[in-house]
Homo-oligomer: A and B are copies of this chain.
Amino acid sequence: MKLDKATIEELVVRPGKPAALDARSTASIKVDWLGATKAKKRKELAEEDLRGFVDELEASQERLWANGTHALLVVLQAMDAAGKDGTIKHVMSGVNPQGCDVTAFKQPSAEELGHDFLWRAAKALPARGRIAIFNRSYYEEVLVVRVHPELLARGGPLPGKGLAKNVWQDRYEDINAFERHLHRNGTRVVKIFLHVSKEEQKRRFLDRLDDPAKYWKFSAADLAERGHWDDYMAAYEQALTATSSAWAPWYVVPADHKYTLRALVGGIVVHSINEMDLPAPRLAPEGLETLARAKKELLAE
């Protein structure tokens, strides 16, 4: 039973309503895969759904590209080990890489810190016809920077003009305006929070520490950040509540089971492109005549 629109829309943080992360499951969705009885079975059904979405996504991307009028921006945010990289790999596997760019936003460079906090994201925006995936994003500026305010970029607001009420409220407002501007100019913005539990993160960190093939994935810094878990959850709760909008919704996706996570993210991406309501590429009658002439010419060679 394929994930339907209603199931996907249940994951949205309604604009103006609290994100209520505490109340949301990190393990399953309300309407789970129907017909499944055991964990094994659910996994199989979810994987089948994912394969369906990957196929659909291939066709959707071609339509996006052929039209060349609109773009899709997918923002992925999560705690460490929630599954961002694996999700990108599995969900986007069928997509033509010529029409899709993934940008991972790591610690900002000196040049990036020298500009406003949206600058490096603005440079990486997708052109019409393309998909961009942000693996972390400008939201780090109201997440990790909120948990560690000493990271606030140098400079800050100018004196006078009575603008700075509160740096975080200002940033939410700036982000909302930025995303609204993108929407108005033809880019669909979709934001996905991979909602993992603290217990599941522990299990995945231990996996990395126990398996030599996974050692490289472990970083002591990640463990230090785990120590700020509650602060991060509070920062996510506020950020998602303040920035889920009609034009750029936040989806909260349970991430404790990778198969659920991946099927849902696949569903969200396909759903988002379908919502753009792009026409299938069609030629005007003159175009068809040109094709006919070209065919004739080639055959006459």
Contact = CB atoms under 8 A, between A and B. Distances in A.
A151 interface: no
A184 B159 contact: no
B115 A127 contact: yes
Interface in A178-211: 178, 180-188
A69 B115 CA distance: 10
Given A163-B180, A180-B163, A180-B174, A116 B158 contact: no
Interface stretch (A21-29, A77-85, A118-126, A231-239): A118-126
**Copies of this chain assembled into the complex:** 2
A111 interface: yes
Given A186-B155, A186-B156, A116 B181 contact: yes
A185 B116 contact: yes
Interface of A: 68-70, 111, 114-119, 122-123, 125, 127-129, 153-164, 170, 173-174, 177-178, 180-188, 246-247, 275-277
25 contacts: A69-B155, A70-B158, A115-B128, A116-B185, A118-B181, A119-B125, A123-B123, A128-B154, A128-B155, A153-B185, A153-B186, A155-B185, A156-B184, A156-B186, A158-B247, A159-B277, A161-B183, A161-B246, A162-B246, A163-B180, A170-B184, A174-B180, A177-B178, A178-B178, A178-B181
